[in-house]
Each structure stands twice: as C-alpha cells, then as structure tokens.
Amino acid sequence: MKVVSLIAQKGGVGKTTLSTCLAVQAVQDGKRVLVVDLDPQATASFWSDIRKKPDDPAVMSIQPVRLPAVLKAAEDAGTDIVIIDGAAVSKEVAYSAAEVADLVLIPFKAAVFDINSVAQTVQTVKQVGSKFALVLTFVPPQGKETDEAMGIAEQLGSNFCPVLIGNRKAYFRAQSTGLAVQEFEPDGKAADEINALYTYMADQLAVRTKGKGNARKLA
C-alpha cells in the first residue's frame, strides 16, 4: 500500500481537487483507493456524498489522531493507495499527514503564492523527512509565474513537479458536481493534466509503470 498526502497550510490551493481527481484516476487504473479526509470542513466527503458514480473511491472523514489506525485497517483490507487530503488547519495535522506518506505533494497557487506559507509547509515536511514535491496550481495561460515558482522551489530546496495545473473552470465545475475533472470533460486539458500528474505520482512512488500511451499504470 502506498500513501500520498496532499498538504498545504493554506486553503484554496487545490488540495481537495487534486486529491479527488488523483483518487478517481487511481480507481480508473484498477486500484483499490481510499481518500482520507482530514479537513474539519469535510470538502472531499461532501464531494463523495453528491457523487453518483459506481466507481467511487472510498472517502473517510476522520480526526487526524485516528490516522495510524485507519491506515492499518486500509492495509489489512487490501487497499492499494491511500490519498490523504490534508487540512490547512494546523502544523500538527500537516506533520501527521507527512509522517505516514510515501510521497507528499504540496500544491501552491501560481498567481498569489505566499512564499511564507509554502516555506512553512516545506519545513514541516523536511522535518519529517518524507519525499515531497511542489505542485503549481491555478497556472494562468500566460505569464512568468511558472519561472518564479520554479525559483521558489529551488530556493526552498524542493522538487518541483513538472506537471502544471492550469487555472480552469472545469476543475471548479467538476468538483461542485461530485465529479473528477477527467469525468466531467474527458477530452479537456485538465484531464490531460491529471493523467500526467498521476503518472508523475506513480513514478515518484517508484513503482513500475506499464501500459500504453499516456495511460500508465501503478504496478
């Protein structure tokens, strides 16, 4: 079982959106998937409640203190991949989500990135020693945000995920209707981004990838 945590001590950067989209992608890849929702606002859980799809990833809303027990139960139940949607609430929550992760993805917003909050999250994850990468989200069609963000990643001594997540209405629309963006608009650019991010995640988890074209699989 692999655990991927999406953490950022800032709200509205795309943690829940990426968690749910990656979870659906993993389900489509034939994996048994659990999303652990650590957010007291339970956004991922509400998304799951309004979903009417049979190929659901399981979503569990829990208190962070239950994380070790829930992960143990997931492993015993034969789960392949757990995606933790970390809350922006506290350093402790970020710490506990990072601690159990094989990979931490730290989404940060292109237009208004707040270097201090990213630096704080990076510091927390570094303390734990987990493998991590910054994922730039809300990337506008043009602009110098990407170069700036790469510079920030370098300054912080972080991996920078080469897959950029665009600022696209489809993410918002999909999320609010209980879908992942690749279900909402299968031929859209956002679907390609999620597919590429999933492939990146699989590579980072150092699992063998197989399959044809861009539909690579978590082995």
Q: Write out the residues near Mg ion by the rule CB under 5 A.
A: 15-16, 43
Count CA atoms within 13 Å of residue 77 on its CB side: 14
Q: Give the contact letters, 97-136, x = binds to ligand ADP (CB under 6 A), - = no.
A: ----------------------------------------
To the nearest whole angstrom, how small is the minimum distance from the Cβ of residue 126 to ligand ADP?
20
Q: What is the dihedral of CA 198, 203, 208, 214, to 10 degrees?
A: 50
Residues 144 and 159: their CA atoms lie apart, in Å, by 19
**Phi and psi (nearest 5°) for 161?**
-65, 125
| Angle between helices 91-99 and 115-128 in degrees, nearest 10 | 40
To the nearest whole angstrom, how small is the minimum distance from the Cβ of residue 152 to ligand ADP?
18
Using CB under 6 A as the binding rule, whether residue 172 contacts ligand ADP is answered as yes
Q: If contact means CB under 5 to 8 A according to the sort of partner, which of Mg ion, ligand ADP, none does residue 138 touch?
A: ligand ADP
Q: Give the contact letters, 5-34, x = binds to ligand ADP (CB under 6 A), - = no.
A: ---x--xxxxxxx-----------------
End-to-end CA distance of the chain: 11
To the nearest whole angstrom, how small is the minimum distance from the Cβ of residue 85 to ligand ADP?
7
- By beta-carbon proximity to ligand ADP, the closer residue of 5 and 80 is 5
Using CB under 6 A as the binding rule, whether residue 216 contacts ligand ADP is answered as no
Residues 184 and 173: their CA atoms lie apart, in Å, by 8
Count CA atoms within 13 Å of residue 175 on its CB side: 19
Using CB under 6 A as the binding rule, whether residue 175 contacts ligand ADP is answered as yes
Helix or strand (DSSP H, E) at 108: strand 103-109
Cross-strand partners of 20: none
To the nearest whole angstrom, how small is the minimum distance from the Cβ of residue 171 to ligand ADP?
4
**Out of 83, 168, 200, 218, the residue judged to bind ligand ADP by CB under 6 A:** 168
Q: Which residues of this protein are in contact with ligand ADP, per CB under 6 A? A: 8, 11-17, 43, 137-138, 165, 167-168, 171-172, 175
